[in-house]
Structure 1
Amino acid sequence: MSAPLLFLDVDGVVLPFGTEPDDIGADLGRRLAALPGELVWATAWEHGANDEIAPRLGLPRLPVVEWRESTAAQDALDEYFNLHWKTRQVVEWAGGRDFAWADDEVTASDRDWVAEHHPGRALVHHVGALLGLTGPDFEVLEQWLRTVRGDEGGGEGAGEGTDESGGPDNRHPAAS
């Protein structure tokens, strides 16, 4: 069984707003590398994240979600459902694999859409843009990834989304 994916945004997640790329360091990279998931860039930086961000974090080159233009019909549907512009393509890129997604712009609408359209388990986790990934974010991500991998007995919490504050969202599992 392959490890769950961990999709990472850069601006507002790895790189808090107001922080320059030179200000991030290897400690953050070590914490990311220690998470029990396969790291994937899901950022508008695309391959630039491997050129500019990964070396500063001490990370190897990571897989990258390459964004494609959406159609007018998709844009209209996404606006209607209040979806983030990345949501559909993150689910598509995952290809049914379990995944966690850390982004500063996701909302309950994205969580609901993923729960309805992704066949695997998923955690859509909102990160505060001014702080970026913090200790509590790492705790949520690590616990969810370990549970999905079966490292902690597959107890309660597998497949659940998170609310805007990062706490559990027990309304429904993120897998349908």
Structure 2
Amino acid sequence: MLLDVDGPLNPFAGSAETRVGFVEHRIRLSRWNKRKVLRLWLNPALGPALLGLAERTGAQLAWATTWGHRANTVIGPAICLPVLRVVELDDSGGRWKFPAVERFAAGRPLVWLDGDFDFYPAERDAFLGRRVGVPTELWRVDPRVGLNTDDVATVEAWLGGHSNVGTAK
């Protein structure tokens, strides 16, 4: 199960009314101007919910985010996730994350939580076409709302219907 940060775990496009359960965090990242503060909204209940889902279904969690390894040092601790594997994104010539995810998933069952699939419809469709016969779910999370309990329950039901999900490397 692949996790993106911005959108699913950080509903950056939301408002106080739509970010129910999310807590504001202010961080400085060294790659930016040291005076610039980045605001994130993270829900501390999501880490345990995702870990529980993974335990119940045999899925393995990994990051598929432009945050890269920083997701393990900034995001994970804030929502009680352990260090996770990271999909190594590269310059994919405008094909977004799909080439890196395709290499990472390598024919294994996949559920991927992200908010940006609709921005790359041709690449999304080509990616899905190459995964015919391999259980694959691209779960779009609204970046105004973020991942919620309904999303987690639906993803868990999908994973429960694919008994070989726990065989991932």
Q: Scaled by the length of structure 1, what TM-score is found? A: 0.69
- Give the Å deviation of 1:58: 1.0
Residue of 142, 145, 154 corresponding to 1:128: 142
Return the match for 1:51 from 65, 69, 73.
Answer: 73
**Contact 2:109/2:164 (<8 A) preserved:** no
1:89 is matched with which residue? 100
Count of equivalent residues: 135
Kept in 2, the 8 Å contact 1:100–1:123? The answer is yes
Give how far 1:150 is off.
Answer: 6.3
| CA deviation string 1:111-150 (max 9, x = no partner) | 5323211252100111100111012211221111111126
Higher relative contact order (CA 8 A, sep 6+): 2
Alpha carbons of structure 1 residues 130 and 39: separation in structure 2 relative to 1, 3 Å = same
Change (3 A) 1:150 1:121: closer
- The more displaced of 97-106 and 9-18 is 9-18
Change in CA separation of 1:138 and 1:109 when aligned onto 2, cut-off 3 Å: farther
* CA–CA distance in structure 2, aligned partners of residues 136 and 109 of structure 1: 28
Distance in 1 of aligned mates of 2:99 and 2:116: 14
| 2:127 paired with 1:114 | yes
Gaps of 5+ in 2: 15-22, 27-40
The CA deviation at 1:69 is 1.7
Aligned to 1:29: 47
Q: Which residue of 2 aligns with 1:60?
A: 82
Moved over 3 A (4+): 18-23, 108-111
> In structure 1, how many angstroms separate the alpha carbons of the residues matched to 2:24 and 2:116?
20
**Counterpart Cα distance in 2 of 1:66 and 1:44:** 9
Which stretch of the first structure deviates more once superposed, 22-31 or 53-62? 22-31
Quick one: structure 1 residues 110 and 88, their matched pair in 2 at CA, closer, same or farther if it must change by over 3 Å? same
Partner of 1:149, secondary structure, is: coil
Distance 1:103 1:51, change over 3 A: same
CA distance in 2, matches of 1:100, 1:131: 19
Letter of the 1:8 counterpart = L
Is the Cα contact below 8 Å between 1:15 and 1:21 reproduced in 2? Answer: no
**Counterpart contact for 2:9–2:43, Cα < 8 Å:** no
Structure 1 stretches of 5 or more lacking a match?
Answer: 1-5, 79-84, 152-176
Give SS of 1:38's match.
Answer: coil
- Percent identical: 35
In structure 2, distance between residues paired with 1:38 and 1:47: 17
Q: CA RMSD in A?
A: 2.1
> TM-score, normalised on structure 2?
0.71
